[in-house]
Structure 1
C-alpha cells in the first residue's frame, strides 16, 4: 500500500488471534501489525511484525524493495509483536544497520542473545537519520507504553511514525463499522492509559511538527482530520471525560444487584442521561474500563461477599486504579442479606484514586428491592442527573 510517493506499508493482518496481550478480546476483528518502508536515496524499514507472520512480512518487504537492499532497520518499539522479525531481517540483510534507542538494544540482547554490536546506530531525542531526500528526526517517547519507545518524524512527507501511539484493535483488511474511536479507546485505556503524563509530554513535542500522516504500529494509517486524533489523545491522556454519561458496572449473584442496576439505568434514561451498563462477570471488562473513562459518572453496584465485595468488582476497581482513573463522580450501590458493607469496602478501595467526587446519595438493598430501596434509586438518579 502506498502511503506517500516514497513510503510503503508492508504490515500484516492477524485473524487467528483471540486475545491480544493475553487479555484483550480481538477474536471478532483480529489485529494488525504495521511496518513501513521509506524508499529514499537510502532505504529504511520501520519495525517488524509478530513472530507468526515474519515470513509473510519478509515477502511483503521483498516485493516493495524491487531489487533494492535495505540500509536500515528502525526499531521504534521492542514489544515482541513488533520486534520478532529483527533477527530474521538481519540474517537476510547482514549489511543493514539497526537503529534504535540504547534501552532497546539492551532488550534485543535479552530477546535475541545479541545487541547487534557493529551494526547498531543508537539514537535519542533530537537524533537524525539522513536517508537523502528524507531525514528522520527522533522523538523520545518513554513509557508510551514501554520505556525504550521512540517516535520518528519525516519532514519531507510530514509523516509521524508513532509506535503504539494512535493504535487500535482490529485488522486493517476489514472495515470497522464503529469507526476508529471505539477500538482505539479500548486499546488506549487498556494498554497506554496508565501513562497519561508520558503521552502528554510527547504530544507537546508533536505540537511543534507539521504532521500530515500518522503511521502507528496497530490500526489504520491516519491521513485525514488529524486534529481530531490529536485532540482525542489529549483528552484521554489528561484523564478528562470524553462525553457526558453514566457507566453502571454491577456484580450480582442471585439477580438482585442486576435488577437494581437495570432499574437505576432506566431511571437515568428517563431523566435524559446516556447510560452504559455492564455485568462484570459476563461482559468484556476492558469495555467496562473503556466506558468508565469515556463518561464523567460511574456507578458501582456490588453485593456484600465474604465481608467484602464480589471478586469481579474488586478486579474492576483494581484495574481502574492501575490505569490512573480520576476526575470522575462515583456513586456506590450495595446489597446484602443481613449486614451490607460493600459500599464501605468499595470506598476504601477507591481511596487511592485522585480527584474523585462521591455522590451524597447511594442505594442499599437488603435482600431484594422494596419501596425503600426504589426510593433510594430515584434519589440517586436525581443527583446523577442534576
Structure 2
C-alpha cells in the first residue's frame, strides 16, 4: 500500500522512515530512526524533488506510481547527491525513462560517479544560481548552497507556493510517525536536541556556508520549508524560530549560558574531581549543570552539547602519556566541527606523569576564541585537600563567568 500524503492541491509527500537503522551514515546513533523525504508536484508538468535511500525504495516507488496515476514523470530535481537521497535515482529512471534530471554542474558530475552506466543523453537540465524552471502554474528557482553540506547542494524555491525545498538544511534525526508538520508535534527539548545533534554533526563544520545560504533565504517569502529529513515547517512563527536557531549555530554562538562537564576517568579519581567541581558549581547557584562520561556517551551527543552550552569543562586522565583516547577523540571532533567562542576549563590526572592537560590545551589552541578560564587543575592519582581547594577556586571562576555572560 502506498503511504503518500497530500500536502496541497498540487504537492505530495512521497517519503517514509527507517526505524531499523542503528547509525545514520554508519556513525551517529538514531534510536528513533530517520525519515527520508521526497516531494512530488503535480502541475502541467510533474516534478519529483529528490529520491530516497535504498531502505525505503519499495514504498517510495509505490508512492510515486500511486500519485502519478498513469501520468508521465517529467522532471527529477536533484538537490543533493548523497546516497540517502539519490540511491534510488536509477530505479526511478528505469521506470520513468522520459524524465529530465535537473541539477547543478557538480550534481551531474556526481551522477556519473555514482551511476557510471546511466545514460542520460538528452535528458539533462543543468542549472546555475537563480535559474528557473516553469512547469505550468509553478515556477521553481534554483539557489546554490555549496557545502551545506556537500559541494553540489542546491535548494529549490517554489515561487508560486512560497516553498523552500531545503535539501539537508533544517533537517533532524528521528522517524516521522503520522505527523508530517512540525506544528503538529510537541517540539520540546528532546526534539530540539535531536535537531541540534543533526545540525552540529552533519552540517556544523560549515558555518560560513550556512550563513551564506541564510542570507540568500532572507530575501525570499518562505511560507513552508521542506527538508530531506524530519518534519516539514509551515507556521510563520515556527519558521522564524528555526531560522534563528540556524543563525546561532552557524555563527557558533552558544544557545544556553550553562556549564557542561566532560570527563574521562579510568579508576574513578578524575570522575570524583568532576563531581566535586559540579557540586561546588551547584552550591554557587549555577543551574542546569550537565555531566557526561565521554567513555560511554556517543560523541555525537557530546558535540551537540558543545554547540549548545557556553562553558565547557574537560577533565581527563593521562593514558600512555597522552590524553585518554575518548577525550582526545571528543576534542578532535570539536575542532573538526569548527566549535569556537566558548569558555573552557581543564582538569588533568596522572599517577606519575600527568600531561593530559598540556596536550588538551595544545589541541584547543588551534580553535578560535576559546577562552581559558583558569590554569589547569592537576591531580596525581586522586585528589586531596589541595586539589579540592583548587577545584573550589575553579568553580568560583566558572560561576563568575557564567553570571557575567550575556548571550546575544
| TM category, shorter | over 0.9
Aligned to 1:40: 43
Aligned to 2:355: 341
Q: 1:219 Cα shift? A: 0.3
Q: Please give the alpha-carbon distance, in whole angstroms, between the structure 1 residues aligned to 2:99 and 2:318.
A: 61
1:234 to 247, 260, 284: 247
TM alignment of 1:143-292, pairs within 5 A: 143-173=147-177, 178=189, 180-224=191-235, 225-273=238-286, 274-292=288-306
Give structure 2 stretches of 5+ with no counterpart: 179-184, 401-408
Residue 125 of structure 2: SS of its match in structure 1? strand
CA RMSD across the alignment:
1.3
Residue 191 of structure 1: SS of its match in structure 2? helix
- The 1:270/1:4 distance shift into structure 2, 3 A limit, reads farther
Q: 1:310 Cα shift? A: 0.5
Q: 1:200 Cα shift? A: 0.2
Residue 161 of structure 2: SS of its match in structure 1? coil
Q: Please give the alpha-carbon distance, in whole angstroms, between the structure 2 residues aligned to 1:256 and 1:99.
A: 59
Checking the alignment, whether the CA contact within 8 Å between 1:361 and 1:376 is kept in structure 2 is no
Residue 270 of structure 2: SS of its match in structure 1? helix
Checking the alignment, whether the CA contact within 8 Å between 1:108 and 1:115 is kept in structure 2 is no
Residue by residue, what CA displacement relative to the aligned partner does 1:206-233 show, whole Å, maximum 9, x if unpaired?
0000001000000000112210000100
The aligned length equals: 385
Q: 1:115 Cα shift? A: 6.2
- The 1:219/1:301 distance shift into structure 2, 3 A limit, reads same
Aligned to 1:352: 366
Q: Please give the alpha-carbon distance, in whole angstroms, between the structure 1 residues aligned to 2:293 and 2:48.
A: 45
Aligned to 2:24: 20
Q: Please give the alpha-carbon distance, in whole angstroms, between the structure 1 residues aligned to 2:120 and 2:328.
A: 45
Q: Please give the alpha-carbon distance, in whole angstroms, between the structure 2 residues aligned to 1:143 and 1:115.
A: 27
Q: 1:178 Cα shift? A: 4.2
Residue 273 of structure 2: SS of its match in structure 1? helix
Calculate the TM-score normalised by the size of structure 2.
0.92
Residue 57 of structure 2: SS of its match in structure 1? helix
Aligned to 1:128: 132
Q: Please give the alpha-carbon distance, in whole angstroms, between the structure 2 residues aligned to 1:310 and 1:361.
A: 20
Q: Please give the alpha-carbon distance, in whole angstroms, between the structure 2 residues aligned to 1:64 and 1:276.
A: 48
Aligned to 1:140: 144
Residue 241 of structure 1: SS of its match in structure 2? coil
> Is residue 2:340 matched to residue 1:323?
no
Q: 1:277 Cα shift? A: 1.1
Residue 196 of structure 1: SS of its match in structure 2? helix
Q: Please give the alpha-carbon distance, in whole angstroms, between the structure 2 residues aligned to 1:334 and 1:126.
A: 53
Residue 334 of structure 1: SS of its match in structure 2? strand
Structure 1 stretch displaced more, 359-368 or 334-343: 359-368
Residue 364 of structure 1: SS of its match in structure 2? strand
Calculate the TM-score normalised by the size of structure 1.
0.97
Checking the alignment, whether the CA contact within 8 Å between 1:160 and 1:215 is kept in structure 2 is yes
- The 1:2/1:179 distance shift into structure 2, 3 A limit, reads farther
Residue 197 of structure 1: SS of its match in structure 2? helix
- The 1:180/1:135 distance shift into structure 2, 3 A limit, reads farther
Q: 1:4 Cα shift? A: 2.6
Aligned to 1:117: 121
2:15 to 8, 11, 14: 11
Give structure 1 stretches of 5+ with no counterpart: none
Checking the alignment, whether the CA contact within 8 Å between 1:109 and 1:115 is kept in structure 2 is no
Residue 354 of structure 1: SS of its match in structure 2? coil
Q: 1:271 Cα shift? A: 2.0
